[in-house]
């Protein structure tokens, strides 16, 4: 069963909002809980991060490094069956030269899979 475009956009927007909230609260465990158990994260460093523990460690490293104020602006989301994808723009602030915060931004693609309880969890996440 395919969800309407409006419905899946609302579901994915909620997932993005939960992700931003968890990250911005400094809770890497809560961020990792938003991924499927077999999820893969592909950061721009060319690393391949697999599984909940490694994903939590990855995000904890960025949180500990002072990355904050993360935002995802969804551009589009589509679904087919139990798979959905979202494309968007991301931005965050992190310590830069001296004590000045530096703004970083780029594009993001996330593939979501509907879970048995009806929730959507990220199973593939990449950005530049």
pLDDT digits (tens, 9 = 90+) for 87-118: 999 999 999 888 788 999 999 999 999 999 99
Assess if residue 58 is contained within a domain: yes
Q: How confident is the model at residue 26 (pLDDT cuts 50, 70, 90)?
A: very high
Q: How confident is the model at residue 3 (pLDDT cuts 50, 70, 90)?
A: low
Looking at the DSSP bridge assignments, the partners of residue 35 are 122
Q: What pLDDT sits at residue 98?
A: 81
Assess if residue 2 is contained within a domain: no
Residue range 20-39: average pLDDT? 97
Q: How far apart are CA 52 and CA 71, in angstroms?
A: 22
Tally of domains within the chain: 1
Asked if pLDDT for residue 18 goes beyond 80, the answer is yes
Assess if residue 101 is contained within a domain: yes
Assess if residue 1 is contained within a domain: no
pTM of this prediction exceeds 0.85: yes
Residue range 8-25: average pLDDT? 96
Q: For residue 100, count other CB atoms closer than 10 A to its CB.
A: 7
Assess if residue 3 is contained within a domain: no
Range of the domain at 57: 8-127
Q: How far apart are CA 57 and CA 70, in angstroms?
A: 17
pLDDT digits (tens, 9 = 90+) for 31-82: 999 999 999 999 998 899 999 999 999 999 999 999 999 999 999 999 999 9
Give the CATH number, domain containing residue 43: 3.10.450.50
Assess if residue 52 is contained within a domain: yes
Q: What pLDDT sits at residue 4?
A: 65
Assess if residue 37 is contained within a domain: yes
Asked if pLDDT for residue 1 goes beyond 50, the answer is no
């Amino acid at each position: 069963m395919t969800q309407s475009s409006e419905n899946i956009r609302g579901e994915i927007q909620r997932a993005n909002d939960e992700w931003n909230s968890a990250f911005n609260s400094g809770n890497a465990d809560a961020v990792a809980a938003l991924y499927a158990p077999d999820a893969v994260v592909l950061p721009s460093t060319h690393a391949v991060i697999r599984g909940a523990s490694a994903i939590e460690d990855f995000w904890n490293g960025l949180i500990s490094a002072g990355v904050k104020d993360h935002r995802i602006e969804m551009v589009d989301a589509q679904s087919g069956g139990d798979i959905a994808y979202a494309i968007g723009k991301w931005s965050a602030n992190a310590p830069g030269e001296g004590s000045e915060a530096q703004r970083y931004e780029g594009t993001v693609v996330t593939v979501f899979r509907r879970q048995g309880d009806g929730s959507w969890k990220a199973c593939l996440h990449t950005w530049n």
